[in-house]
Amino acid sequence: MHLSQRDGALDLLKWLALLSMLLDHLRYVGFSADWLFVPGRLAFPWFCLAMAANLARDGSRKMEWRYLGWLSLFSAVSEIPYRLYISDPDTLNAMPTLALGLLVARGWQDASWMPRLLALAALLLGAAFPERLMFGFFGVLLPLAMLLVFRRPWYFSLLPGLICLAANQWQVLLESARFGNRVAIMGLATCLFAPTLGMLLLRQVRHLRPPPMRRWAYALYPMHFLMLLVIRQIIA
């Protein structure tokens, strides 16, 4: 996802989301690193926030189909490396959830019949098959929640924080936190405040100019699974 005029803070948010995702998936390389679950909770909400930022600044129909096309393509491309790396996964990879979330958020923006119909279809799919989607039905709602609070004061971002928590198996986290599990406690806090941290980053560090993340970045998602799979084979 990119803009004609680069936003350094948005590029930085995407790079940090990618790094968070990589750290999260390092847990499956073969060594004990449960604490990586905590920074890993930043990845999905920050990708959703990046999507909301692009929708808020360029809500054109052309942009909608371009994003949806790339997300759909790499949803399919990523599924094989995802299943090779994550043994016996319970869900599809994360990109189908993002694609459905894009349709829901875009349907909110555009009152014409086609976007609204697609948004309704995405909501129905999310509600009917939450167990097959990474981050479930609430993950589908998260891009819209980010979009709704994008231009509001920072404390409104607590709403998508609650939705982010619901998307991250909050029952399991709460149960573990009750028994004093530090990873669960920090995971809960990260889910709640990830949207707020992302919003503050977008508003405070616009002067930075990290390398722009363009369309080629979609390929990093399947490639990082393959890279981690090779590392796991080497250290096994």
Give 79-132 pLDDT, tens digit per residue.
Answer: 999 999 998 899 999 999 999 999 999 999 988 899 999 999 999 999 999 999
Task: Taking residues 175-203, report their average pLDDT.
Answer: 95
Q: Does residue 2 lie in a domain region?
A: no
Name the domain count of the chain. Answer: 1
pLDDT at 173: 87
Identify which has the larger pLDDT, 125 or 56: 125
Higher pLDDT, 201 or 1: 201
Q: For 6-35, how does the pLDDT look when each residue is reduced to its tens digit (9 = 90+)?
A: 788 999 999 999 999 999 999 999 888 899
pTM given for the model: 0.93
160: confidence class by pLDDT, cuts 50, 70, 90: very high
Confidence of residue 1 (pLDDT cuts 50, 70, 90): very low
> What letter does residue 208 receive in the DSSP assignment?
-
Structural tokens at position 47: 């990708």
- Can you give the pLDDT at residue 125? 98
User: So what's the pLDDT on residue 62?
Assistant: 56
Is 4's pLDDT higher than 70? no
pLDDT band of 59, cuts 50, 70, 90: low
Give the structural domain span for 56. 8-235
Encoding tokens for residue 170?
Answer: 């909050």
Q: What is the pLDDT of residue 9?
A: 93
- pLDDT for residue 30: 86
Does residue 12 lie in a domain region? yes
Q: What is the pLDDT of residue 208?
A: 85
Contact (CB, 8 A) for 55 and 147: yes
- Averaged pLDDT for residues 1-10: 67
A 10 A CB-CB count for 201 gives: 18
pLDDT class of 228 with cuts at 50, 70, 90: very high
| Residue 87, pLDDT score | 87
User: What value does the mean pLDDT take over residues 125-151?
Assistant: 97
- Average pLDDT rounded to a whole number, residues 159-169: 95
Range in 63-67, 148-152, 158-162, 166-170 with the lowest mean pLDDT: 63-67
Q: How confident is the model at residue 70 (pLDDT cuts 50, 70, 90)?
A: very high
In a domain, 196, yes or no: yes
